[in-house]
Structure 1
């Protein structure tokens, strides 16, 4: 079914941190932001970032300004539940005024949840789902060091629960950062693989938010749900982000030290965070989660590998939007709507290929015997599947997987 939805009520909605600083060198604002909240900070980061010179400079600047700093440098990739139990065991009862997340998406997601648990107690499992957080946690400041996840903006953290064998989302306005300091200089040391994966993630956020289902929600729905569908203000950020990534990712593929390209990519990733925070993500993210659990591949590579096939599946329900993306990306000029829409999808694939992102699921390690369980798990992510512009079923997910495995990039025939 490819029934089209439109934003008939003209809704525009954004959620964002109270204070947002962007630009090279803006990490210098961090001591001033922290002192405005309190004098005792807990920084959550990973081992790689904690050993870097720039991290030492951040800690020194905070301490020089009179802030007492504790560091938890044990954040693990993909955010295992046990990892969060570790920070609670270590710092529960300690005097902490503000939690600072420094690092990639896992570090920022970790800091968001840690800020809740340290303030309110309880088990992280009590927070799984949407709007299960009972109230505010400690103020949290997000300092991203990768250009892709948008976690500095979003009100969602994703936790891997080993007992459940899957990733689970925690979605609540109370996870929103108090402030975000987005400094592109912090991404200069980001290696090629991580740059590619996070870049693909940002691209997927922009495409899925701009082509998301329009829900025309009432006030009760807006109050009860984070994802309210495609809307006017999210679209502004999606267009901006797509225009930036159209050139910046290929420039980064050629030169990882290009600060201008790093800045454009990080601004695009931040814009993507602004877009998905209300419009949401959809099929590519729902399907990637079980694939990632099976293949142990990076989230960004998973959504990137799925995009060619998910976009083709969604095209019948979002032809005008894909044609508009073509205009933003400067392709298909003068062609009819169908040709422009297809040109946009091909251009997205070109950008992904420049980053050496896998463009089929076989290269991720997925196998045909996995298709049924992946489809079953993907359909459980109802917050995401309900956001997809074209109705998803178990069988349609299996078909997407078959095409992705076979590298079948023919146009989807209704």
Structure 2
């Protein structure tokens, strides 16, 4: 069986392990059950969430039994975060909707082999208050709980009892999965270390100190400039194609800094050491070709959205760069022009100069005439220099769009009102 810990070390993806020697021995002896959890605080994962799940995928590919816990129970009380504030509690209706969305995403990413998806609401909701206090509360030392970093960082501004008990609920998850699914390893982000070790402590108190239970975390990912990975000027980069289009997703990876791209190739792709070493050499010798970035964008977009989405993203990129937009599909226009200046226009035909001014693409008729005559105006990829040209919005892209380019790079999307 593949030495998955050695692979993770090479990828710089290990932060802390509770007992590395013991875990390495266990992994070499059998197919091990492990889990990673996510709370349904939203209806989609973003790429920050994806990091620990990429590690889970590597264990799955190495023959181990991956489990994903959708936190319908823990998500209903709120995970204490490092933001020095209480999370706003969501309605159970919203939580259940988010559970369904996240489950569908996980099935798409992990397939059917060596994977089990469970919801901790199924067992946490069955514990009554007295049972919680007698069976579990008695086993947690208050001083130990207060010293957990995620709690200690909140003591000055305050933390509710609800969020304070989160580590107990997550510990119950680990114990439940150990007993019901033979899960002996929990993995998570660096901020989950306190919760993971609390779960191992609970298992040892309830089942005996000789029971094998392990935890590992991955490092906090920062960009070369010291800022947090995964955020853009427009906010989070989502896995949901409706929130972040596959084209935007592809472009995010394509635009990574040379200083970061090899690290991301190690974390987010399944390329082997020789392939990544080749790309690392390309970054050093031919950075202008951006081969590493193109490979990163292709690999991650294929993993999340499929090969067709990559082809579309590349087609859109090429069309926007060359100006040859006439062959784009309506779907590709929706993706590629999502964040470009947009105007709403009627389907009525009109003189080009008048149309440009009426829709505020040009500030005045004088400027519009000048730009048309100088060849600076392109309609659906075609240069238009005829001042008498009549533009009919119903004739292009199924009557839904008109693409205007002014100069070399300034695009406008005109959406035709139906």
TM-score band by shorter chain is: under 0.3
Indicate the structure whose relative CO is greater, using CA pairs within 8 Å and at least 6 residues apart: 1
TM-score (norm. length: structure 2): 0.26
Tell me the TM-score normalised to structure 1 length: 0.26
- In our comparison, the structure showing a higher alpha carbon Rg is 2
